[in-house]
């Protein structure tokens, strides 16, 4: 019997609790106001703190410079003509389900077109990606290679197989091997150059990296990390090696989610999907807090039209 796991049996945010907190446009506006201006209104033009409200238009007018500002101006929430309630519902589905949600399903749940759901979802994923982009792992790190859209065992390793997007999975663990944080990064290929770039951006130089000896992983030493090779064999034998327990568990969950939820992911979108898994995994002990935290990050992420969404600089 599998031991009961703190994460799996966590309650998360029930639909009733969600309704209580975010169930009306007014509640969502109040949440956004507090998250955007925790110390009270601040004029984005002159920094003035006193304001009046133009209730009929939902605008705030600065008493000093008279400029009118909407609650969501200059944030990702401003760009669609979708009510805030639907943005919060999208955040609910994106953060509270372990598997993620397809844009078709999200569109159905929100009552919007699939294309609208897709844009909302990818903007939120972008927020997740930018939020964690520059954070580095430290301590003991399990490193493994994987592909979106393919099986590792039996397939070609190293230079990659056609139609598959290679990525690196790194799990920071405690010295006893308990998982702490996850990092998933698309790489151009499994070569020393790509791994060196990945390590310099994503790993603190004090990391003790454990890998199964794929030649390119030795390149983590170029970022100052220590590297230990544990030969595991391949396939099922590798999955049973205790040193790689968590990286294998994480990869298993990602593959299950991708095959269960999405039929295919275009290569250019892969980093955003990986970022979504990474974001959820790294905040798994407090599911209910994920919505306010994502709201906070969303209000501080530079908005851009969907077609201009791009990868943060730290991505290869």
Which spans of this chain sit near Zn ion (rule: CB under 5 A)?
43, 45-46, 48, 62, 64-65, 67
Least Cβ distance, residue 222 to Zn ion (angstroms): 50
| Phi, psi values for residue 107, rounded to 5° | -60, -45
Spatial contact of 202 and 313, defined as CB atoms under 8 Å apart:
no
Please state the closest distance from residue 47 (CB atom) to Zn ion, in A. Answer: 7
Q: How far apart are CA 284 and CA 173, in angstroms?
A: 15
For Zn ion, the closer CB: 68 or 241 = 68
Distance of CA 265 to the CA centre of its chain: 16
Of residues 48 and 218, the one with the C-beta less far from Zn ion: 48
Q: Which is nearer to Zn ion, 62 or 210 (CB)?
A: 62
Taking the C-alpha atoms of residue 185 and residue 278, their distance in angstroms, rounded to an integer, is 10
Output 67 or 93, the one with its CB closest to Zn ion: 67
Alpha-carbon gap, residue 53 to 67, rounded angstroms: 12
* Cα-trace Rg, the chain: 22
Tokens standing for 103? 């844009």
Strand partners, 53: 60
Name 109's bridge partners. none
254 membership: H or E segment, kind and range: helix 245-261
Instruction: Provide the minimum distance between the beta carbon of 75 and Zn ion in the complex, in angstroms, as a whole number.
Output: 18
Q: Please, what is the minimum distance in Å from the beta carbon of residue 60 to Zn ion?
A: 10
186 near 165, Cβ under 8 Å?
yes
Structure tokens at 45: 């033009």
Structure-token pair, residue 280 = 């959820």
Q: How far is the CB of 51 from Zn ion (least distance, A)?
A: 8
Q: Which is nearer to Zn ion, 49 or 93 (CB)?
A: 49
Q: Which is nearer to Zn ion, 65 or 237 (CB)?
A: 65
Q: Which of 11, 72, 6 is nearest to 37 (CA)?
A: 72
Q: How far is the CB of 44 from Zn ion (least distance, A)?
A: 8
CB of 48 to Zn ion, least distance (A): 4
**DSSP classification of residue 48:** -
Nearer to Zn ion (CB atom), residue 64 or residue 78? 64
């Amino acid at each position: 019997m599998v031991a009961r796991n703190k994460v799996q049996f966590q309650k998360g945010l029930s639909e009733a609790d969600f309704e209580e907190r975010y169930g009306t446009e007014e509640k969502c506006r109040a949440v956004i106001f507090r998250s955007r201006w925790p110390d009270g209104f601040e004029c984005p033009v002159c920094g003035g703190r006193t304001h009046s409200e133009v209730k009929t238009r939902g605008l705030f007018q600065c008493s000093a410079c008279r400029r009118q500002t909407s609650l969501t101006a200059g944030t990702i929430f401003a760009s669609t003509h979708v009510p805030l309630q639907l943005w919060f519902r999208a955040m609910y589905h994106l953060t509270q389900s372990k598997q993620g949600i397809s844009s078709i399903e999200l569109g159905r749940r929100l009552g919007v077109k699939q294309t609208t759901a897709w844009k909302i979802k990818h903007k939120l994923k972008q927020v997740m990606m930018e939020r964690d982009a520059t954070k580095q792992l430290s301590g003991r790190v399990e490193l493994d290679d994987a592909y979106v859209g393919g099986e590792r065992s039996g397939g070609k390793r190293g230079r990659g197989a056609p139609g598959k997007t290679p990525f690196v999975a790194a799990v920071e663990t405690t010295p006893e091997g308990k998982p702490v944080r996850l990092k998933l990064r698309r790489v151009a290929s499994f070569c020393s150059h790509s791994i060196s770039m990945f390590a310099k951006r994503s790993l603190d130089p004090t990391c003790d990296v454990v890998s199964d000896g794929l030649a390119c992983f030795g390149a983590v030493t170029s970022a100052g990390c220590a590297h230990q090779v544990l030969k595991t064999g391949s396939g099922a034998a590798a999955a049973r090696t205790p040193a790689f327990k968590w990286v294998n568990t994480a990869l298993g969950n990602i593959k299950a989610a991708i095959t269960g939820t999405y039929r295919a992911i275009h290569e250019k979108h892969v980093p955003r999907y990986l970022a979504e898994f990474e974001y959820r995994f790294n905040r798994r002990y407090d599911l209910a807090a994920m919505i306010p935290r994502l709201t906070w990050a969303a209000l501080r992420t530079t908005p851009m039209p969907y077609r201009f969404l791009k990868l943060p600089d730290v991505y290869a």
